[in-house]
Amino acid sequence: MAVSSKKPDWKRVVVKLSGEALQGPQTHGLDEKTLDRIADDLVNAAELGVEIAVVVGGGNFFRGIQGADKGIERARADSIGMLATVMNALALEFAIEKRGWPARALSAVPMPSLCQPYSRQAALHQLGKGRIVILAGGTGNPFFTTDTGAALRGAELSCDAIMKATNVDGVYTADPKKEPTATRYERLTHDEAIAKNLAVMDTAAFALARENRIPIIVFSIAQPDAITAALAGEGKSTLVVP
């Protein structure tokens, strides 16, 4: 996919990137080619003048809910999952910097020997300097998903939109991998997404975005320059609006 030359509608966005998106064709861990492709996409988007924060998940290493299924208490399992997001953030930070673009990883779980602790002021400062900011550690608390973390950071940082990168090209009436007749929504409201129980993001994330009137762009991260295309309103996606 060619890099779009169209000026994006959004000045500042938060991209929600799952840990699974970074594992590529592997069953777990980090895939170098996939990591490099996503880093390229983020840099291309930043070159268009968009300020970008990335909330990264940790499911390619460990998901809290999975740990709870294995007998680890949920709060402790979620803490392990937060550590997994830091690993992904550091890898993505390095992949972006290899391309000559400045990046900064910030963690909601303080670990200053590895990366800068998250604060709203620190994140805004880094965004103002043109750096791509990678936000690790979720909300810093158990029982909240990184989807909710993305909605929270979107509100805190006055983002114009939340970009939800998934493995499908938008929000569908049903799971398109299980229901061949499922159709994709071009546009939805937050209320409709919650009422229809469309599980592309959890209800708390939808509700937080609705309360702060932040649009959500749901798109597939599977193709090169997917973020850049979604920013320009090109390619397939679903726009969820207040």
Per-residue model confidence (pLDDT) at position 1:
44
- Within a domain: 162: yes
Cβ-Cβ contacts under 8 Å for 179 (sequence gap 6 or more): 172, 173
Task: For the chain, count helices (H), then strands (E).
Answer: 9, 9
> What's the rounded mean pLDDT across residues 150-169?
96
Q: Give yes or no for residue 14 having a pLDDT over 90.
A: yes
- Within a domain: 153: yes
pLDDT in tens, 92-146: 999 999 999 999 999 999 999 999 999 999 999 999 999 999 999 999 999 999 9
Higher-pLDDT residue of 199, 162: 162
Please state the pTM of the whole predicted model: 0.93
N- to C-terminal Cα separation, the chain: 30
- Within a domain: 7: no
In which band, very low, low, confident or very high, does the pLDDT at 3 lie, cut at 50, 70 and 90? low
Number of domains composing the chain: 1
Per-residue model confidence (pLDDT) at position 45:
95
Nearest CA among 99, 210, 82 for reference residue 135 = 82
- Within a domain: 3: no
Question: How far from 179 is each of 164, 171, 172, 175, 183, CA to CA, in Å?
Answer: 22, 13, 10, 6, 9
Checking phi first, is residue 237 left (phi over 0); if not, alpha (psi -120 to 50) or beta? beta
- Within a domain: 211: yes
Residue 49 structural domain:
12-241
Distance (Å, whole) CA 5 – CA 134: 25
CATH of the domain at 117: 3.40.1160.10
- Within a domain: 5: no
